[in-house]
Amino acid sequence: MTTPDAAAPPPLPDVILHAREFARRGLEEVLARLHPDLARICGYYFGWNDAEGTATNRRGSRTLQAAMVMLAARATGQDEAAAAPGAAAVELTHNFSLLHDDIADGDEIRRDRPTAWVAFGTGPTLVAGDALFNEAVRLLAATQAATTAVSVFTDGVAHMIHAWASEPAFDRTDPLDISLDAYLECCRGKGGALLGTGAVLGTVLCGKPAQDGDLLRRAAHHAGTAWQAVNDLENIWGNAALVGKPGFQDLRLRKHTLPVITAMQSQHPHTRHLRQLLAQPAPDDNALQTTADLLEELGGKAATERVAQHHLTQALATLDEASLPKAVHEDLAELLQFTVTRRPSPHGRRA
């Protein structure tokens, strides 16, 4: 598996376009009741307006978690409209996490434009993120399955927050001392916790027991792990126009992601040189390119690609265990593949 190298994001699959419409009303209702300054920040992050508040149609999130809620609801055979608040809730939470993540990492560009904290300031952006999270809980608390839905949601967010806390701990740890299993558990939390939560929310909001969504949750966890591995690749080697961030981003931030960990643990004779490059305090683009090339030579890129491919294969195999209507199964397979590869299937639904 390799990271995409197209100059612009490819077309979105139909399942994502449908999920955006599925969640849109709930998102609009939330922004309408926020303080106008917070609504402007959140609308900017959604791609709905520019920094001055003028309406735009810019790049937003990929709406993966909302799509998972929608498809899990369809899998129950009940009216999927009951799950629309869940789709909006996970989309709000995903954007809340990114608003805060940009501040924590000092990222200045996301989705081809300045991040919210750069455009509006750190304080207002933190409050905007908090508002999105609060509104997500409010949406779920107003549903028929409020008690179960809020419990499922907060359990998933707790897993995601644990992964956030683990990430800087890894960055403080020598890569030789990082357990690969522990790092992949962090990947599952960052990439898969909310996606898996979406699977169970779609199930319980349609009146079914949470365990009915377990296979979809497990498939989502594998896809989320693969997604985070690909994200580790993109943040070093990815095309900036596709990723929406500058090249070599994780190397600039000196992050101990999967390519670095696996390269340093490869026992290659050039690991000492890699350690020296990673220790440079303010590398220029030439030094970053040299570091990226050495990571590839030491097998860090290939090892990360193998991890991504393995977990995508596991995600699809787990999905195949579920008893689902054919159309729902095909759409879920499309969603899982798009989650990891950023590309729709060339043939649409699987035959």
| Rounded distance between C-alpha atoms, residue 64 and residue 20, angstroms | 9
Q: Would you write out the chain's pLDDT as a tens digit for each of its 351 residues?
A: 544 444 456 788 999 999 999 999 999 999 999 999 999 999 999 999 999 999 999 888 899 999 999 999 999 999 999 999 999 999 999 999 999 999 998 889 888 899 999 999 999 999 999 999 999 999 999 999 999 999 999 999 999 999 999 999 999 999 999 999 999 999 999 999 999 999 999 999 999 999 999 999 999 999 999 999 999 999 999 876 666 667 798 999 899 999 999 999 999 999 999 999 999 988 999 999 999 999 999 999 999 999 999 999 999 999 999 999 999 999 999 999 999 998 877 544 443
pLDDT at 343: 85
Give all domains of the chain, ordered by start, each with its CATH number: 14-341 (1.10.600.10)
State if pTM tops 0.85. yes
| Rounded distance between C-alpha atoms, residue 68 and residue 332, angstroms | 8
pLDDT at 59: 84
**Cβ within 8 Å of residue 23, ≥6 positions away:** 63, 66, 69, 70, 84, 87, 88, 91
Q: For tokens 């949601």, what's the residue? A: 153
| Rounded distance between C-alpha atoms, residue 113 and residue 51, angstroms | 10
> E strands of the chain, at which residues?
109-110, 113-114
Q: What are phi and psi of 7, to 5 degrees?
A: -80, -15
pLDDT at 4: 43
pLDDT at 346: 56
pLDDT at 3: 45
The CB-side HSE value for 42 (13 A sphere, CA atoms) comes to 29
